[in-house]
Amino acid sequence: MKNTIKAIALFSGGLDSRLAAILVARQGIKIVCYHFRTGFEHEKNAEQKLKEMKAFCEDRNLSYREIPLREEALRVVCSPRFGHGRYLNPCVDCKILMLQKTKERMEREGASFVVTGEVLGQRPKSQHGPSLSTIERESGLEGMLLRPLSARKFPPTIPEKKGWVDRELLCDFSGRTRKPQMELARELGVENYPPPAGGCLLTDPRYSHRLRDLFEHPPFDMQDIELLKFGRHFRLSSRAKLVVARHQEENERLLQLKKSDDRVFFPVSRKGPLGIGRGAFDPGTEELASRIIIRYSKFPDTKALVIMEKAGGEKREFPVDSPSNQLLESLRI
């Protein structure tokens, strides 16, 4: 009977989600790992991380799915029912959203319950007792949500009551220490797992500051959200902003994210980064953007020539010098 039971595991790729999936799979349950893509993941080494997650699942005979959740996640970030954390992270609402989407797919997958890597007391907003109860209730998964790492801290779930899962083989972890998880990882042969810093940009203060600025200056779309991950950002006016690359790789990435009505600024008399101007510019903000470009070019203390290009081949030249540090910092997002 047990071999016919299937469960869906929320799979961030972190240590806790890996351990939770393995603990249940070891009991003969077929596991399908869901990795939700919200659009708020760190960009650095993102593709490599996805490959590592897929490889981990393949090695453990776990199925793997990537589920897009960008538009829905953005709506939750803009207006979370249960509020933001320290920055713009709506952790409770986001977990509810993921679990609701998982519940919608349970029948299609033939799954009987859901597994998460949550640990009681590990995170101050989303993993204390009341929040965990709220998440289970609001997701519609009461009794069907198994948290293997803290299972023996909670009342038995339906999978335990029905004998699909042996409660004694689950854990009773709690609190913020990760030593028990690391010891369990050694026992289960789980190696090369990512550090516990977290993969969500919404907990990053600089990113959250940029996102809040975007919310205060609509309209915006997911392409604007993606642009927040790259470069140096400057608010030039209520209707115009500039993003300046930090290196050649970002030069290329900004050009990929350029919209048809964006302006491109770049120095022509010396080496330096390019910048993308987005919004409604006038001659004053165009000149200001050009000055900022010079600030990050080679020999920033002397006047230089910057070209601005627009769609349709329109170009303008700006012989400018760098802004003061005080002005620059007043514009930085």
Domain boundaries, the chain: 2-188, 230-331
Cα 238 to Cα 285: distance, rounded to the nearest angstrom: 11
CB 232 within 8 A of CB 209: no
Q: Give the mean pLDDT of 318-328.
A: 96
Residue 195, Cβ neighbours under 10 Å: how many?
8
Indicate the pLDDT class of residue 199, thresholds 50, 70 and 90.
Answer: confident
pLDDT at site 234: 98
Average pLDDT in the 48-52 region?
Answer: 92
Chain centroid offset of residue 215 CA = 17
> For position 4, what pLDDT does the model report?
81
Tens digit of each residue's pLDDT (9 = 90 or more) over 111-137? 999 999 999 998 877 888 899 999 999
pLDDT for the residue numbered 311: 85
User: Hey, what's the torsion of the CAs at 8, 12, 18, 24, to 10 degrees?
Assistant: -20
- What is the rounded CA–CA span in Å between residue 134 and residue 99? 12
Predicted local confidence at residue 1, as pLDDT: 44
The pLDDT of 168-186, averaged and rounded, is 96
pLDDT digits (tens, 9 = 90+) for 85-120: 989 999 999 999 999 999 999 999 999 999 999 999
Question: Do the beta carbons of residue 29 and residue 7 sit within 8 Å?
Answer: yes
Q: What's the rounded mean pLDDT across residues 169-187?
A: 96
Q: How far is CA 13 from the centre of its chain?
A: 12
- Rounded percentage of the chain residues whose pLDDT exceeds 70: 98
Average pLDDT estimate for 240-265: 96
Helix H or strand E encompassing 100: helix 91-109
User: Domain 2-188: what homologous superfamily?
Assistant: HUPs (3.40.50.620)
CB-CB contact of 140 with 33 (8 Å)? no
Span 156-184, average pLDDT: 96
Query: Per-residue pLDDT for 76 more than 70?
Result: yes
pLDDT at 306 over 50: yes
**Cα atoms in the Cβ-side hemisphere of radius 13 Å centred on 258:** 22
Q: What pLDDT is recorded for position 194? A: 84
Mean pLDDT to the nearest integer, 49-70: 96
Q: Look at residue 146 and give its three-state secondary structure.
A: strand
* pLDDT given for residue 198 in this prediction: 61
With cut-offs at 50, 70 and 90, classify the pLDDT of residue 269. Answer: confident
